[in-house]
Amino acid sequence: MKAIEIKNLTKTYANGIQALKRIDLEVEQGDFFALLGANGAGKTTVIGILTDLVNKTAGEVKVFGHDIDKDFSVAKKFIGVVPQEINLNIFERAIDILVTQAGYYGIPCNEALPRAEELLKRLGLWEKRFGSPRTYSGGMKRRLMIARALIHEPKMLFLDEPTAGVDVEIRHEMWEYLRERNKAGLTILLTTHYLEEVEQMCRNAAIIKGGEIIMRDSVRKLLTFMDKEVYVVSVQHVKDITTLSQYKPVVVDDTTLEIEMSRKETLHDFVARLAQTGMVLTDIRPKGHRLEKLFLEVLNK
């Protein structure tokens, strides 16, 4: 049995926009799956249909073998959802938010409370358990939404752009937690714009564009399409670049270079080579939006 089976799924909104065009998609149990796509590609619509927030126009959707048209009330128990928009009651105490949510699934308070405590501890919210989201940072609110989505111990978690607006450190902590839960058996599907997130966490991915799945493969395979990457390198002063020729360096200004790196080369080697030229590195980052580039590579194949 698959965690998710989608066949011929179509969604046309009332305004005539065809957000999904007969898509087929399967996600195995235990997978960590990424649904990738640019703004408006249809990712949130897929999650909306899977969680019964959006009515599909046509097609068949099964969650752990349960058809959502026939028995959504059963399918619902298997899934936890972290929506894109923050939708917490900002005046309710964190611990109460979790216990109340458990109540919607028929979990009594004496069972919900230890679960809530465990989640709050694991997600770094323990100190603030009696505080309300009004006093939380963006990253804390998102972690509380993850705790809320997991309180009824679902088999599958949907995350719609989980790290939007979350700073780097918290993002890495969140990834670690999600990886751990996935190892323990939780199937996870996330939507994202960030290729880095996918590289760090996901095993399989599908790319959605204009309401159609244009590719579904392992993340490793998808990344082979990205054989070259351009980096912007900031240094204190640009010096002689002849020994960096394998990286096809381009001098942008007195303190900036652009280099090209293949997947076989490592940043570590580049940084060592740069140090030999006497240049002092101040920053290095990928140029441009990698996911956009990946789409172009895939589309042009």
The footprint of ligand ATP (CB under 6 A) covers 13, 15, 17, 19, 37, 39-45
User: Other CB atoms closer than 10 Å to residue 196's CB: what's the count?
Assistant: 14
Scored b (16 or more CB within 10 A) or e, 137-173 reads eebbbbbbbbbbbbbbebbbbbbbbbbeebeeebbee
- Residue placing its CB nearer to ligand ATP in the complex, 1 or 14: 14
267/44 Cα distance (integer angstroms): 34
- Residue placing its CB nearer to ligand ATP in the complex, 133 or 211: 211
- Residue placing its CB nearer to ligand ATP in the complex, 44 or 204: 44
81/79 Cα distance (integer angstroms): 7
CB of 166 to ligand ATP, least distance (A): 16
- Residue placing its CB nearer to ligand ATP in the complex, 41 or 156: 41
- Residue placing its CB nearer to ligand ATP in the complex, 57 or 256: 57
Query: Which residue has the CB atom at the shortest distance from ligand ATP?
Result: 44
CB of 4 to ligand ATP, least distance (A): 16
Q: Which residue in this structure is represented by tokens 């700073």?
A: 167
At 186, which amino acid appears?
A: L
- Residue placing its CB nearer to ligand ATP in the complex, 15 or 110: 15
Q: Which residue in this structure is represented by tokens 């799924």?
A: 9
CB of 44 to ligand ATP, least distance (A): 3
Structure tokens at 48: 């909306």
CB of 8 to ligand ATP, least distance (A): 17
- Residue placing its CB nearer to ligand ATP in the complex, 48 or 249: 48
Q: Are 54 and 11 in contact (CB under 8 A)?
A: yes
Based on DSSP, count helices (H) and strands (E) in the chain, helices before strands: 10, 14
Write the CA distances from 39 to 45, 85, 262, integer angstroms: 12, 15, 28
Q: Which residue in this structure is represented by tokens 């599909």?
A: 56
CB of 18 to ligand ATP, least distance (A): 8
CB of 211 to ligand ATP, least distance (A): 7
Based on C-alpha coordinates, what's the Rg of the chain?
Answer: 22
Q: How far is CA 223 from the centre of its chain?
A: 16
CB of 254 to ligand ATP, least distance (A): 38
Find all residues with CB under 8 Å of 30, minimum gap 6, and list them.
3, 182, 185, 187
